[in-house]
Amino acid sequence: MKVSARASVRDALRLRAAAIDLLGSRQPDWSSLAACSAGTWDAFLRTERCALALKARIAAAEREVPDHVETAATRELQRILSARGQLLRIGQLAAAQGIPAIVLKGGVAALASDAPVDLDDVDVLVPPLHAERLAELLDEEGFRSTGPAGPAHVAGRIIPNAVPIEVHFAINDLELDDATWRRARQLDGVPGLSRLGAADHLWHLLVHTVVTHSYRRGSLRDVLLAAEALRDCSPTELEDVERRVATHPLASPLADLFTMAREMGEGGPVEHRFRREAAANYLLRGPLGWLGYSRFWTGALVSALFSLLGSAVDRRREWAVACQRPPLSSPWGFAARLERRSPLLGRWSRSLVKLGRIIVCRAVAWPIAMAARRVAKR
């Protein structure tokens, strides 16, 4: 019998529920893992990015690993191995030049964990005065710059057949101070590279997932990463993170992610949180995949969609970000020329375009948000 390639959001949510049970060391509904279409598996695995962990759990239960999981796990492992190689290379360059370098997020697990997770790129934090120098050293090694610089990092660096590298001089949505650098600790067996202190590392993972990239709230890859970071914290450090969560404007989703990571790390029942966010991602990657990608529209549409699924704080934050003075020149040629000729007019024009784009994207995102809420509730 031919298997349908179409994605079902409801089936993807059932897959997610089974995966949460399995990753939390409970018996899942095995039928959910066997009866889904190729499109459903694709939407689920591209959203959750947890194929390597799923493969390990399924194999440990002496069950047959589905082909979709096997294929995705192989891709994830290839990216992890690539990231390790990139980080070791960066460590050698940093050590030779005396540049303090801190590995961020999934890069820590790639180097130091028995259960690493998927990566799209490698993030390394260096003091602002050293960021351009490290980027130049990478260029001398054969890397080339790609894409624009960001408010927290220089332009990314790439080399064929390897994950990209981002050299950061700041961290979005986090304040870095001297104490953060003092709490950093050397990565065992990796000269030239350090990691954030345990509490800072966990806090960064929570903020990065919930605040910086709200579409990733509840992503099982990020829950697994946070669960491992949580296990690395002492009771005092956990209390510190809980205090930071409680005083943040987005305390509720931060607390949900913290609790979900703790439940998964403890191996007990894990509540199926972030169902609406998962449903929205499955919609975008499945039934609405025809929307494709646009540099101008896609990021704004995703931001609008997940602010509608979030709280009033998310929606106010979306407006506040749009109203901020752009820190960098526009990546669009016409806008960049206008800014050079008339900086004030250029900035006003960019701000008006951004505000108009939010209004249009919210109108487009509203029915998608309603559909995600409806299917998640069912």
Share of the chain above pLDDT 70, in %: 89
At 2, the pLDDT band (50, 70, 90 cuts) reads very low
Residue 51 confidence (pLDDT) above 50: yes
Residue 4 confidence (pLDDT) above 50: no
Rounded CA gap, 204 and 107, in Å? Answer: 13
The answer to whether 76 touches 88, Cβ cutoff 8 Å, is no
Rounded CA gap, 275 and 177, in Å? Answer: 36
Residue 333 confidence (pLDDT) above 60: no
Residue 145 confidence (pLDDT) above 70: yes
Residue 340 confidence (pLDDT) above 60: yes
Residue 53 confidence (pLDDT) above 60: yes
The answer to whether 50 touches 224, Cβ cutoff 8 Å, is yes
Residue with more model confidence, 333 or 185: 185
Nearest Cα to Cα of residue 49 among 125, 132, 105, 127: 105
Mean pLDDT of the chain: 90
Residue with tokens 């919609």: 283
Q: What pTM was estimated for this model as a whole?
A: 0.91
Rounded average pLDDT over 44-62: 95
Nearest Cα to Cα of residue 42 among 9, 91, 19, 87: 9
Rounded CA gap, 37 and 40, in Å? Answer: 5
pLDDT at 320: 82
Q: What is the pLDDT of residues 147-204, one digit of tens each?
A: 888 889 999 999 999 999 999 999 999 999 999 999 999 999 899 999 999 999 999 9
Sign (positive or negative) of CA dihedral 6, 11, 17, 19: negative
Distances in Å between the Cα of 253 and the Cα atoms of 35, 156, 360 are 32, 30, 26
pLDDT at 123: 97
Q: What is the pLDDT of residues 304-313, one digit of tens each?
A: 999 999 999 9
Residue with tokens 């992503």: 219
The answer to whether 170 touches 176, Cβ cutoff 8 Å, is yes
pLDDT at 293: 64
Nearest Cα to Cα of residue 141 among 179, 92, 175, 189: 92
At 342, the pLDDT band (50, 70, 90 cuts) reads low
At 34, the pLDDT band (50, 70, 90 cuts) reads confident
At 356, the pLDDT band (50, 70, 90 cuts) reads confident
Degrees to nearest 5, angle at CA 79 with 223 and 125: 70
Q: How many CA atoms lie within 13 A of 256 on its CB side?
A: 16
Q: How many CA atoms lie within 13 A of 192 on its CB side?
A: 16
Q: What is the pLDDT of residues 211-239, one digit of tens each?
A: 999 999 999 999 999 999 999 999 999 99
